[in-house]
Structure 1
Amino acid sequence: MRAKIFSDRIFLYRLFLFIVFILLVMLIYRVRDKLYNVVLPCGVGILIAYILNPIVLFLTVKGFKRHVAVALIYFILLCSLAVAMIYIVPVVIAELNKLIETVPFYAREFQNFVYRFRKNYRNSLPVGIQEVIDRNIDQMESLLLDLLQNLVGILLSWFSGLFSFILGPVLGFYILKDLDKLKNSMTRYIPNAYRDRVFHWVGKVDSTLGRYVRGQLTVSLIVGILTSLALYILGIDFALLIGILAGITNIIPYFGPIIGAIPAIAIALLKYPRKVPWVVIAFALIQQVESGIISPHIMGESLGLHPITVILSLLIGGTFFGVWGLILAVPVAALLKVVMVSALEKFESR
């Protein structure tokens, strides 16, 4: 009888924790816009610390004290940033100014392109198919024109979030410098009965995501540089901006390379029609090099997720959390897989 009451209490306790967890997730989702300004700099700081910590450990093994190693790494990064400010940032600003100035031109060229396209197919297709195509073209035209007209506001909103990215490295510096102290202080809040289990989970998460996250960022940087160089050689406008976009979107599996290629193909189609095949070939070659040479050497083992799981994760993340959902969908899915596999193994062992 006592065993039954005890098991009922355990069930009710777990049910209560599950309900609290669901309510907490719902609350976070409802106030996600307000939490964004708080979570973003913390997330950037933790990500920077996570990426740089292996380098810090390597330097400490070589005899450097931890705070000296962190200061040395940040000094190198600040020097690199200074070089970027001198040589790269002026180019980015010039391209942004040029983009803002040429928005009316591209909007007008896009409308002319749609008009010519409609004029060509109306003489050769049935009326019903023409109406379907017209509706889809109207929607796409409205969407693209709204995007072009609001482009300045979008760019300004991005720059308004630069404070979070400036605050992130500062938080990352202190996390890296005092990481051992933070680990010890956090360990005190974990009950002794669960401490080994928590360390086991942390080790599993690190082994699952560590190399993937660092490798994916490295591959994306290389893809961004190759894209900028290719477009610069082809003489396509905004080569650096498109390269940055291609590097960022390359983090998204399957769809990322397509998203990164669309702006370059669109600009070439509207202003340099004869260069469109060369732009497509350049992106295809870069992706072949990335998937066949760069990724296998840098990424190593994949996360072991089935393509269907990856696509569903991207759909769910993009639908509920936008761009950040697309970027974080695959790592979160990998974490859930680790949790589910470990839970099943524990259940089967019992």
Structure 2
Amino acid sequence: MKRRGESDGGATVTAGPGAAEGGTRWGALGRINPFTFGLVGALGVLLALLIGAMIGQLSTVLVYIGLALFLALGLDPIVSFIERKLPRGAAISIVVAVVIIVFAGIILAIVPVLVQQISHLVQTLPTTIDDITKSGWYKDVTRQYGDSIQQGLDGVLKFFKDPGNLATIGGGLIAVGAGIAGGLTGVTIVLILTLYFMASLRSIKRIAARFVPEYRRERFSELVDDVSGAVGRYVIGQASLALINGILSLIFLTIIGAPMPALLALIAFLGSLIPLVGTLIGAIVNSLICLLASPLTALVAFIYYLVYMQVEAYIISPRIMNKAVAVPGAIVVIAAVGGGTIGGILGALVAIPVAASAIIIIQKVVFPAQDRKTVPPKVPAA
């Protein structure tokens, strides 16, 4: 066996420094105690689980931050438009004041009307039930399914006479109240974060650019501006569609005498914020609530929403959204369905601007990089 440096038939066997370092490294690894190796691996797994648990605990806060940043990007085009006439500080102050006034105006306009209409509904509910029981269609249904209806009513009465069930209902009402209070708290937090993000959006972009090498910062800043602009235009376009649906719903439902038209208009507005299926969901919910007035009112409301959805899909939405984001229809459907599956309503809401941002990145980063590769790399000879 030849030692290092000994000759063998005129050839010298010499181990390079890399071989020596590699041997030392593998020798050190081979000398690690298996218990120590397993302990370090177990600590790494525990650290990963701890980080995952922390993210799970902070999921609500992360959703608030993401939604606030999304809304801030949506309001930034308005700030930029006002900034053409006024300094940025004044433009931000105007937008902040308008947002606060609109938020307070919605609460002051909707809540008293809802309270009044709900109390009116409670007062007129016995008369409404009496009118329903005297109607011809109810008598026909009772004639055919009278025994089943009576058994159902007896079951309902028995349920409400049970004190344990009443306690359960009370606990459910408390949980609903706590959920409403939590929702209002979340809306307030999102509003405050939105205002902070909107005021410091340029600083956030500058700090993000500092993480990129200096020779790429200009290109990175242009890309960030394009992406944020696409998100902002989408938010404004979707809010415009929702506002149109809410205003038209309020006018039409008031004309046909629908119950609680302000609440139904709010449902239509919130539903239209959800891409693809939101308008349909709001239409179904509003049509079912209109049954409290009469089946004819519900039928008229449903026909109106059918007509409106066609007008929105083929006239209103293309004119507004084509100026906002240029995303193919198939990608819109795939993004909305995928976002809704992953993140629910918020996922569906942000899926389309995320898809638009991905298209911008592909068009301005990936495609130019591929276009520069005109000659295949040379393969060294063996």
Same fold (TM over 0.5): yes
Residue of structure 2 in register with 1:174 after alignment: 196
1:231 aligns with 2:253: yes
Shift of 1:166: 1.2
SS of 1:161 mapped into structure 2:
helix
Q: Answer yes or no: is the 8 Å Cα contact 1:40–1:164 preserved in 2.
A: no
Residue-pair matches, total = 291
Aligned equivalents of 1:103, 1:322: Cα separation in 2: 35
How many percent identity over aligned positions?
A: 29
1:313 aligns with 2:335: yes
Aligned equivalents of 2:311, 2:341: Cα separation in 1: 31
Aligned equivalents of 2:360, 2:105: Cα separation in 1: 41
From 41, 62, 67, give the equivalent of 2:89: 67
* 1:200-349 alignment runs, 5 A limit: 200-269=222-291, 271-301=293-323, 303-341=325-363, 342-349=365-372
Shift of 1:223: 0.9
Residue of structure 2 in register with 1:87 after alignment: 109
Q: Deviation per CA, 1:277-330, whole angstroms, max 9, x where unpaired? A: 311222133334434554344334364444443333333222232222222222
Q: Deviation per CA, 1:28-59, whole angstroms, max 9, x where unpaired? A: 99777533431233234323432332333333
Aligned equivalents of 1:331, 1:102: Cα separation in 2: 46
Aligned equivalents of 1:294, 1:344: Cα separation in 2: 33
Q: Deviation per CA, 1:196-246, whole angstroms, max 9, x where unpaired? A: 342232133134333222111122112112112222222222322222222
Residue of structure 2 in register with 1:57 after alignment: 80
Structure (1/2) with the larger helix percentage: 1
1:183 aligns with 2:223: no
- 184-193 vs 29-38, which deviates more? 29-38
Residue of structure 2 in register with 1:40 after alignment: 63
Shift of 1:273: 0.9
Aligned equivalents of 2:330, 2:100: Cα separation in 1: 41
Whichever residue aligns with residue 319 of structure 1, its letter is T
SS of 1:78 mapped into structure 2:
helix
* Structure 2: runs of 5 or more not aligned: 1-48, 146-170, 374-382
The TM-score, its normalising length taken from structure 1, stands at 0.67
Aligned equivalents of 1:150, 1:246: Cα separation in 2: 26
Aligned equivalents of 1:331, 1:58: Cα separation in 2: 21
- C-alpha distance 183-330 of structure 1, shift in aligned 2 (>3 A): closer
- C-alpha distance 29-208 of structure 1, shift in aligned 2 (>3 A): farther
- C-alpha distance 254-237 of structure 1, shift in aligned 2 (>3 A): same
Whichever residue aligns with residue 77 of structure 2, its letter is P
Q: Deviation per CA, 1:70-90, whole angstroms, max 9, x where unpaired? A: 223323333344443433321
Residue of structure 2 in register with 1:157 after alignment: 179
Aligned equivalents of 1:53, 1:259: Cα separation in 2: 30
* Structure 1: runs of 5 or more not aligned: 1-25, 121-148
- C-alpha distance 80-340 of structure 1, shift in aligned 2 (>3 A): closer
Aligned equivalents of 1:28, 1:248: Cα separation in 2: 35
* 1:89-104 alignment runs, 5 A limit: 89-95=111-117
Aligned equivalents of 2:99, 2:243: Cα separation in 1: 15
Q: Over aligned residues, Cα RMSD in angstroms?
A: 4.0
Q: Answer yes or no: is the 8 Å Cα contact 1:44–1:169 preserved in 2.
A: no
- C-alpha distance 333-73 of structure 1, shift in aligned 2 (>3 A): closer
Q: Answer yes or no: is the 8 Å Cα contact 1:224–1:247 preserved in 2.
A: yes
Aligned equivalents of 2:318, 2:103: Cα separation in 1: 29
Shift of 1:259: 0.6
- C-alpha distance 217-173 of structure 1, shift in aligned 2 (>3 A): same
- C-alpha distance 217-200 of structure 1, shift in aligned 2 (>3 A): same
Aligned equivalents of 2:346, 2:122: Cα separation in 1: 25
Q: Answer yes or no: is the 8 Å Cα contact 1:269–1:276 preserved in 2.
A: yes
